Structure 1
Amino acid sequence: MRRILFALLLVLPLLAAASDNDIDKINGAARVEAGQHAGDVSTVNGAVEIGAGAIVKEAQTVNGAVTLGERAQAAELSTVNGAIHLGTDSKVNGDVDATNGSVELARGADIGGKLSNVNGAITLDAAHVAGGIETVAGDITVGAGSQVEGGILVDKSSSWFGGNDRKPTVVIGPHAVVKGTLEFRRDVVLKVSDSAQIGPVKGATVQTFSGATP
């Protein structure tokens, strides 16, 4: 019996390592097929594509988009130059960051950490973000039925070359809920549905609208 237990103790770490294989590329797309498991998935020049129902750790690229398929799960998602898309009912346990690129959350998508970018639209469709939303120059749409904890921050640019003078537009849709402070360190256009619930607003004037869209 002791020999069997000892053998199991030796084999289990090997099985765990085999199930957590990393995918690491320099050029070209890094893909995880639907329903598969992987460790960290990364590339430098290329897209990262996580198939439906797949489970990975961190998924990241420098130049390229990151796509998390429907019902797929990841620990974190990030890109420097590229968009990020979270499919229906997908889940990210930690942060999602796209420095220069849009971020789109499909219906039922869930982020356990912070959602952030510098440039590019951020759009939630009946989705959930637990750690707040941050941007500098991107428009934000917290769509109907979405929920955000941790507030919203639109920061001013720290670039030596000056920031984008265009005013970002922030829309909080019907029956959406934003808990925490909505803080704006630059001029924005803030439009809030008359059926939405939001926390304190700092640095902007609320424009209320009725109906599905402003």
Structure 2
Amino acid sequence: MSPRRTALFLTLALCIAPAFAAEDISKVNGSISAEAGQAYGDLETVNGSIRIAGGATTQDAGTVNGSISVGDKATVGALETVNGGIRLDRDVTVNGGLETVNGSIFVDRGGKVKGGAETVNGAIGLVATQLGGGIETVRGNVTVGVDSHVAGGLRVQKPTGMFNMDKKKPQRIIIGPRAVVEGPLVFEREVVLYVHRTARTGKITGATARSFDTDTAPQD
């Protein structure tokens, strides 16, 4: 191919490339579904859930009133919801963090999350998950389950403002078999902390760890 024809080909390729870029989806009322094996840009809705099927690829996804679910082996950006939970099936890669206000977060086996996991009123559960950031919550229980690795520590914040209401029972914080929490564990309110004898943690402040050696932590 001549240099002139090569240059023309490259120019045409650059001109048409945006037409094939992953498309953003934005709604006010309605759910969003990302189909299996397809690529998408940002996914945003106000009143509706977001469902990302297995093997799909997306950028960031967020909703106000709705849940977010992600199928096996999908690759996504940061996930955020206000009133709803976030659930990731197996072997999901998240190139960002996970955040809810009123809702739980659960990551199944093989999850790789670049950022952290944060809730206000919602539980956080990890199973054999690699979390590149830390865990933060105000009023949620936390389970760093079997074979999980948290790089950025764990913090239970003291409630302030509208969230400054005591719970009848202290929160349960469980660090499971062979789990690792590299950073400090800081508790600004009363919790019950269980740490498996095979787990490793950073410095613990504000709570006394109770050791256990069974598959699951004791029930209070």
TM-score range, shorter chain: over 0.9
Q: Which residue of 2 aligns with 1:124?
A: 126
User: Aligned letter for 1:15?
Assistant: A
Corresponding residue SS for 1:34: coil
Q: Which residue of 1 aligns with 2:148?
A: 146
> For each residue in 1:65-107, what CA deviation from the matched residue of structure 2 results, as whole angstroms up to 9, or x when unmatched?
0011110011110000000011100010111101110000010
Supply the distance in 1 between the matched residues of 2:15 and 2:204 (Cα, whole angstroms): 50
Supply the distance in 2 between the matched residues of 1:90 and 1:212 (Cα, whole angstroms): 24
Deviates more, 1:8-17 or 1:51-60: 8-17
**Percent of matched pairs sharing the same residue:** 43
Q: Which residue of 2 aligns with 1:59?
A: 61
Q: 2:171 aligns with which of 168, 172, 179?
A: 168
Q: Which residue of 2 aligns with 1:91?
A: 93
Contact kept, 8 Å, 1:137 with 1:164, in 2: the verdict is: no
Q: 1:196 aligns with which of 195, 199, 207?
A: 199
Structure 2 residue runs of 5 or longer lacking an equivalent are none
Corresponding residue SS for 2:120: strand
The equivalences for 1:1-214 within 5 A come to: 1-12=3-14, 14-160=16-162, 162-165=164-167, 166-214=169-217
Residues 93 and 161 (structure 1), Cα distance of their counterparts in 2 relative to 1, 3 Å cut: closer
Contact kept, 8 Å, 1:92 with 1:110, in 2: the verdict is: yes
Following superposition, the deviation at residue 213 of structure 1 comes to: 1.0
Supply the distance in 2 between the matched residues of 1:13 and 1:97 (Cα, whole angstroms): 37
Deviates more, 1:194-203 or 1:161-170: 161-170
User: Aligned letter for 2:193?
Assistant: L
Corresponding residue SS for 2:195: strand
Structure 2-normalised TM-score? 0.92
Corresponding residue SS for 2:101: strand
